[in-house]
Amino acid sequence: MRKTLALAAFAALATLATTLPVAAPAVAEEDPRTLIDLPPDVRVAFLEHMRTHMTSLDTVVQHVAAGQFGEAGTVARREMAIGQGLGFGRYMPPEFREMGFEYHRTADDFAKIAAAMPAEPTSADWKKLVAGLSEITMRCNGCHGAFRVR
């Protein structure tokens, strides 16, 4: 009895589903990110530079995974902690520059933590290292949520 009821309910639902109008495709929400207008050549150079950040971050994580803490710190300092002097800052609003500065600072903090890692890290050392890394990725993510370029 129960089974028949359940079957009947299922059949009814199935019919309903096929007769219901197809939901209208979701309208894309307005992009809440602040748009930064860049001269085309600057935009190309900026995005290219951004892709190097992805590579740097990956290199740092690969070194961490291999227990090569010194190398992880060196890459973070050389490629992420210091602005590369490419002059994008002058096109950017102050909030962007502030976030960029914060990003460089967290990379510098991470480089220090990595440099101080003992050869045989305790779980507390690992925790500190990964927390330092997460401070960096939080800055990547925060800025990407706030700005876009054109």
For ligand HEC, the binding residues (CB under 6 A) are 47, 50-51, 53-54, 57, 96, 99-100, 103, 136, 139-140, 143-144, 147-149
Task: Rank residues 33 and 127 by Cβ distance to ligand HEC and give the closer one.
Answer: 33
Task: Rank residues 104 and 128 by Cβ distance to ligand HEC and give the closer one.
Answer: 104
d(CA 41, CA 54): 21
| C-alpha 88 chain-centroid distance | 20
Residue 34: phi and psi, rounded to 5, are -70, 130
Measured from the CB of residue 43, what is the shortest distance to ligand HEC in angstroms? 8
Sign of CA dihedral 60, 110, 47, 34: positive
Residue 141: phi and psi, rounded to 5, are -65, -40
Classify residue 29 as exposed, middle or buried by CB count within 10 Å of its CB (0-12, 13-18, 19+): exposed
Task: Rank residues 3 and 51 by Cβ distance to ligand HEC and give the closer one.
Answer: 51
Task: Rank residues 11 and 138 by Cβ distance to ligand HEC and give the closer one.
Answer: 138
